[in-house]
């Protein structure tokens, strides 16, 4: 039986002819204010950490670069940076062969999302749009739009993955050689797929009342 991170389904109905289904591994918060504050603090901490790493690398580069123009530019960057009194001693103590890989790891972890989020937006009379969040912050998600005229059906298929059977939601596109898989990264459990399947078909073909 497949085991992985917990998945949560969020359903949003902004209008009688529009519905959005979002499957995410991010744990829902009971308080929206607490969630927003927590998110803001995490992003602020990531930004400060990335800034510190870049500043340390600039200070280290200034100590080993002998070109006058480049060194002057690095000195100017450090003077404009807050926390120089902490950055310079740290840069002097750490070696390049430690700083370089450590910097790459820190920046990678700070820019990497710690959750996966995929969504299906259904617009009655227009079509559907699938979306998968990027693995990194500050980059746009991958989206696919399928007009209603090209949608033949929305179905739940099953396929073998390893020794187990996995279910997935698919859109059969007219003239397409392959189906469009919804939530391709997460492949939610069947209960979630059935709820999305019923809601998507209801909105797409008969509206939501």
d(CA 143, CA 123): 15
The answer to whether 193 and 169 have CB atoms below 8 angstroms apart is yes
Confidence of residue 132 (pLDDT cuts 50, 70, 90): very high
Output the six-digit token pair for 1: 């039986």
Q: Is the pLDDT of residue 97 over 50?
A: yes
d(CA 50, CA 112): 12
pLDDT of residue 175: 83
Average pLDDT over residues 67-86: 57
Q: Is the pLDDT of residue 78 over 60?
A: no
pLDDT of residue 209: 45
Span 37-72, pLDDT tens digits: 877 888 889 988 888 888 888 777 776 665 455 555
For residue 168, the Cα-to-chain-centroid distance in whole angstroms is: 20
pLDDT of residue 124: 93
Percent with pLDDT over 90 in the chain = 44
The answer to whether 23 and 121 have CB atoms below 8 angstroms apart is no
- 173 forms beta bridges with 151
Average pLDDT over residues 19-45: 83
Confidence of residue 139 (pLDDT cuts 50, 70, 90): confident
Span 149-193, pLDDT tens digits: 999 999 999 887 767 788 999 999 988 788 999 999 999 999 999
pLDDT of residue 20: 96
Confidence of residue 79 (pLDDT cuts 50, 70, 90): low
Average pLDDT over residues 106-118: 91
* Greater pLDDT, 120 or 77: 120
Cα first-last separation, the chain: 37
For 127, the 3-state DSSP assignment is strand
Domains of the chain in sequence order: 8-26+117-206 (2.30.29), 33-111 (no CATH)
Q: Give just the sign of the alpha carbon dihedral 63, 64, 67, 69.
A: negative
Report the half-sphere exposure of 161 (CA within 13 A, side-chain side).
11
């Amino acid at each position: 039986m497949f085991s992985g991170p917990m998945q949560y389904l969020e359903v949003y109905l902004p209008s009688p002819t529009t519905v959005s289904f979002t499957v995410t591994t991010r744990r829902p918060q009971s308080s929206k204010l607490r969630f927003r504050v927590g998110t803001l603090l995490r992003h602020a901490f990531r930004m400060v950490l990335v800034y510190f790493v870049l500043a340390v690398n600039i200070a280290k580069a200034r100590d080993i670069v002998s070109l006058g123009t480049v060194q002057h530019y690095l000195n100017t960057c450090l003077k404009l940076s807050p926390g120089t009194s902490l950055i310079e001693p740290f840069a002097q103590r750490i070696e390049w062969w430690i700083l370089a890989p450590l910097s790459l790891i820190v920046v990678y972890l700070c820019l990497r999302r710690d959750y996966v989020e995929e969504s299906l937006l259904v617009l009655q009379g227009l079509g559907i749009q699938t979306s998968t969040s990027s693995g990194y912050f500050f980059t746009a998600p991958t989206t696919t739009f399928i007009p209603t005229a090209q949608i033949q059906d929305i179905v739940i298929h099953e396929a073998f993955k390893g020794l187990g059977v996995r279910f997935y939601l698919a859109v059969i596109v007219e003239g397409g050689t392959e189906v469009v898989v919804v939530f391709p990264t997460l492949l939610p459990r069947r209960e979630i797929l059935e709820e999305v399947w019923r809601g998507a078909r209801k909105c797409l073909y008969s509206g939501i009342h």
